[in-house]
Structure 1
């Protein structure tokens, strides 16, 4: 096998032609990001709140609005869910986003929705940790990267399985409580984007979680490509500097050493001036799935007897 062939086989499996849905207009999204530091008052505040430790909250972000998640007091992991506001069957699809974008996301990456809708729900426009790692490469000496899509939310069922004890404040439970006011249930909670979480795979191909490197003021922000409902949990492991399971964990010591690792997160939602986005060519991204008309080969097939 030639070196050219080997390189091809290790390139991204999902690609598209220039100008396709994976080839976004970076200059436009740079302009969106720049509205945060513009000398003019371009952004107006729609909503701001602080999410306390070990809790969850849901909120709406309208199409074209910008949402920023902030480490207001220092390192803290947040577990994020996103749905189409008007159709919660359409929700963020972590595994497809890993394939179309990457396993740890940053600026210009998009969070894609489930079938049969298949569209970007949001696009990342700002990330204060985008230059994390060795020489700004995004990866540290142990293979850790930020804003994780490899893992998912912690939950009370795994906790019970591993420890034999109950804990009602895992991210799955926090998100479940958060979405009740919107008529959703536990069955609507899905795989998450682990905001500020530093993870990777070790030499045994096993998932690891490192101490969160976020500092006070660090943020991740995105623009909503359609109306969305977001829900965020402040992880009960806090900055993940102490074990949640196994030797040395709270369950093994009958204490709660991770409590001191927990900090709140801030959420900020902003709106740009009327017409600002449209003047620059932006429009709501509609579902791609409607273009498919094959009905999975379930159309009536005529048969005849010869």
Structure 2
């Protein structure tokens, strides 16, 4: 569902451009709004969320999909934790839908999907592990890397019940915006994937904007 945001980018309290292959890791307070902006189009932003006060509580694809009875996320979707609590709500979305099933690229999946020589290519899981290692103040480790949301990524479910990684449906300037229902750690990997048609084989930057609660 397409819903425009009333937020003014000029009034954002924080703005960060995240290059392709880099990560973003910050705490978003309850009531703050977070926008992920696809600057050049068809980029994938693989994102994890954790309760900032107890990171053992984190985004759960299973609970979110079950409660909303939909494998795609868009405006109005509530992101639930593994304890069944609302973590964030998508308040605006100009892309239309976001993937919950495709997972994140990793050296292992690069090898299986593409070729043995792709194993050493940079992957989203690498970005998350680097973020965790460089930010020990959040108390996260490798074991905390779980299922994620692929904002802007197009992963249709086939008639046979499988998944297909297709050309992206996003475009330059499209965004998804979320309101935090609790203090959350946002861990985003701006996908470096060179083999996936979702980003037209051209990874590009995204921008993350944050507005304080009204």
Shared fold (TM-score greater than 0.5)?
yes
Which residue, out of 75, 91, 102, partners 1:125?
91
Cα distance, 1:263 vs. partner? 0.5
Q: Which runs of 5+ in 2 are unaligned?
A: none
Please state how far the C-alpha of 1:222 moved relative to its aligned partner: 0.4
Q: Spell out, residue by residue over 1:150-183, the C-alpha distance to the aligned partner (whole angstroms, 9 max, x if none).
A: 2211111233455334325211111121233033
* CA distances 1:109-165 after superposition (whole Å, capped 9, x unpaired): 111001xx32010000000023xxxxxxxxxxxxxxx30112211111233455334
The match for 1:233 is 189
- The answer on whether the counterparts of 2:12 and 2:211 sit within 8 Å (CA) in structure 1 is yes
1:154 counterpart = 2:115: no
Q: Scaled by the length of structure 1, what TM-score is found?
A: 0.62
Aligned to 1:79: 46
What SS class does the counterpart of residue 156 from structure 2 fall into? strand
Q: State the shift of 1:72 in Å.
A: 1.2
Greater Rg, structure 1 or structure 2?
1
Q: What TM-score results when the alignment is normalised by the length of structure 2?
A: 0.87
1:266 paired with 2:204, answer: no
Match of 2:24 in 1: 57
- Matched residue of 1:179: which SS? helix
Answering whether residue 131 of structure 2 is matched by residue 178 of structure 1, we say yes
* Shift, 1:216, TM fit: 1.3
Q: Is the 8 A contact 1:61 1:228 kept in 2?
A: yes
Secondary structure of the structure 2 residue equivalent to 1:178: helix
Note if contact 2:105-2:193 (Cα within 8 Å) is conserved in structure 1: no
SS at match of 1:118: coil
1:92–1:112 contact (8 Å) kept in structure 2: yes
**Following the alignment from structure 1 to structure 2, what is the Cα–Cα distance between the partners of residues 121 and 214?**
24
Distance 1:63 1:92 in 2: 15
Q: Are the equivalent residues in 1 in contact too, given 2:43–2:198 (CA < 8 A)?
A: no
Contact kept in structure 2, 1:44 and 1:272, CA below 8 Å:
no
Distance change (3 Å), C-alpha of 1:97 and 1:238 = farther
Which residue, 21, 33, 41 being the options, matches 1:66?
33
Query: CA distance change for structure 1 residues 173 and 112 in 2, over 3 Å: closer, same or farther?
Result: same
Q: How far 1:84 moved relative to its partner? A: 0.3
Residue 57 of structure 2 aligns to a residue in which SS?
strand
Specify which structure has the bigger relative contact order, considering alpha-carbon pairs within 8 angstroms and separated by 6 or more residues. Answer: 2
What's the offset of the Cα at 1:45? 2.3
Q: Which moved more, 1:199-208 or 1:188-197?
A: 199-208
**Quick check: 161-170 or 189-198, which moved more?**
161-170
